Amino acid sequence: MPYSSHPHPMSPLAITHSTLTNALGQGNAAVFSALKNQRSGLAPCDFLDITLDTYIGRVADLEALPVVSRLKDFDCRNNRLAQIALQQDEFEIAVVAAKARYGADRIAVIVGTSTSGILHTELAFRERDPVTGALPTSLHYRETHELSSAPAFVRHYLDLTGPMLSISTACSSSAKVFASAWRMLQADLCDAVVVGGVDSLCLTTLYGFASLELVASEPCRPADADRGGISIGEAAGFALLERRENTPDAKIGLLGYGESVDAHHMSTPHPEGLGAELAMQRALDRAGLVAGDIDYINLHGTASRTNDSAEDKAVSRLFGPHTPCSSTKGWTGHTLGAAGITEALIGLLCIEHGLIPGSLNTRHIDPSFTSQIVLQNENRPITRVLSNSFGFGGNNASLIIGRLDA
């Protein structure tokens, strides 16, 4: 019973509430306003004492906004970012209402992150005891850095007592939270799921991607003939997922998801986009849709040479030359473990407001590309968005977000 030969459609999940915080601002309205007005969140790197020649998508004011005092052991940049996101768009109120409906023990928390609060540990290493090498005792590894730091913080912050999981598959992490949520609901382990993605700026990813020569010295230019690499950003996003029968008024939901791996290379995508194509095809199969049903594709579109080229080939094979595609990483930067949910929820905002965002910063589309890369924003009603997220380890996930009544 392999996945590829088992494409039975799934029951859609309602996305009853959602919220986004990233370099474009705090909350959905700020993020959408930047998209609509083509205002990028990328700026020259001014993070800590880092001297890399690059642009970053930084969330303002995190340094001044510690986590609530009852959870002070969890205080780190990553959980500060999670907390700010949870405080937007009346998300907490929505969770309180869901608790009243289902009970706190029937609401799961699933969060994707690639590096969790590693910055906290990186900085602790600067303060090692010169004689013993010991780290300062102020390092709360479990609460700030271990991969369950963010979901545990979110679960405590929202006073939930249901199942919990941290997913860490590099840049597909917070796309895969939707798949795990669907399975958890299908297995009746819970009645609702708070899914999220949180990743924050740190030295590991900035210097790590620089070591791979994947970091651009200008704001990233996805799908551009002269693209020079990625711009790293930080972000958090959360969504409340419920069964459709419990939320008859819900308008937009998760229609499908597809997961795959490339089985090719640890840090380079399959050159023909084989795994990417599998993930998109599985998402279509899950949704019971065909390629022509998708109105807009939010590309992974990191602006690395290899990703954009492989993704273009995969998209072209499945969708041909007419489905509008763009990457929104020119706005937010590549938010790594938070990219999956950030871009899925950008897709949700685009459906709500009727917008196909153009690929910001892209000047000349790579002449070898055959998919329909759009450069200008276009205002028109759309029903279904496919969002791609691909990561190291060849780990791929595609999500389809769409109107439930279409």
Partner 1 sequence: MNIYLDSIGVIAPGMANWSEAIKTLTGVQAFAIHAPLPDFNVADLPATERRRAGKSVKLAVDLAAQAMASAFIDPTLPAAVFASTSGDTEVLTDICAALATDDRLISPMRFHNSVHNAASGYWTIAQQNRQPATAVALHNLTASAGLLEAAAQVVAENVPVLLVIYDMPFPPPLDAAEPIAAVFGMSFLLQPARTPHSMAQLSISLSMAESQTVNVMDNPELEALRIGVAAARGLPLLAALASVFSSGLVSGNVQTVVLEYVSPQVLIIAVQPIISGEPNT
Residues that bind partner 1 (CB under 8 A): 1-3, 6, 105, 114, 118, 121-122, 124-126, 128, 133-135, 139, 141-142, 146-148, 151-152, 155, 161-170, 176, 179-180, 182-184, 186-187, 189, 203-204, 207-209, 211-212, 259-267, 274-275, 278, 391-395
Instruction: Find residue 43's DSSP bridge partners.
Output: 56
Q: 56 with 232: CB under 8 angstroms?
A: yes
Handedness of CA 222, 227, 230, 233 (dihedral sign): negative
Output the smallest distance, CB 6 to partner 1, in A.
Answer: 7
Residue type, 202: C
**Shortest distance in whole angstroms from residue 205 CB to partner 1:** 8
Measured from the CB atom, the residue of 128 and 363 that comes closer to partner 1 is 128
CB nearer to partner 1: pick between 160 and 349: 160
Cα separation, 402 vs 294, in Å, equals: 9
Select 37 or 51, whichever has its Cβ closest to partner 1. Answer: 51
Q: How far is CA 350 from CA 138, 264, 311, 320, 332, in A?
A: 43, 33, 21, 22, 15
Cβ 245 to partner 1 shortest distance, Å: 17
Shorter beta-carbon distance to partner 1: residue 255 or 350: 255
The smaller minimum CB distance to partner 1, of residues 171 and 374, is found at: 171
Considering 140, 145, 270, 334, which one is annotated as catalytic? 334
How far, in Å, CA of 57 to CA of 44, rounded? Answer: 9
Q: Active site includes 171?
A: yes
Residue (171 or 373) nearer to partner 1, CB: 171
Q: How far apart are CA 80 and CA 334, in angstroms?
A: 19
**Number of alpha carbons in the 13 Å side-chain half-sphere of residue 18:** 32
Report in angstroms how near the CB of residue 220 gets to partner 1 at its nearest. 19
Determine which one of 45, 171, 202, 325 is catalytic.
171
Minimum Å gap between C-beta 26 and partner 1 is 28
What's the Rg (C-alpha) of the chain? Answer: 20
CA quadruple 377, 228, 208, 297: dihedral sign? positive
For partner 1, give the closer residue by CB, 201 or 349.
Answer: 201
Nearer to partner 1, 20 or 203 (CB): 203
Q: DSSP states of 235-282 as a string?
A: EEEEEEEEEGGG-TT--EEEEEEEEEE--S-SSS--TT-HHHHHHHHH
List Cα–Cα distances, 133 to 32, 39, 142, 144, 323, in angstroms: 47, 46, 20, 21, 56
- Catalytic site residue 76? no
Residue 306: CB atoms within 10 A of its CB come to: 16
Find the shortest distance in angstroms from Cβ 128 to partner 1: 6
Helix pair angle (91-102, 77-86), 10° resolution: 80
We find the least distance from the C-beta atom of residue 382 to partner 1, in angstroms, to be 27
- 300 annotated active-site: yes
340: nearest Cα among 176, 204, 229: 176
Other C-beta atoms within 10 Å of 46: how many?
A: 8
* Sign of the torsion formed by the C-alpha atoms of 379, 289, 331 and 86: positive
Q: Which of 17, 145, 270, 300 is catalytic?
A: 300
- CB of residue 153 vs partner 1: minimum separation in angstroms? 12
Active-site residues, by number, are 171, 300, 334
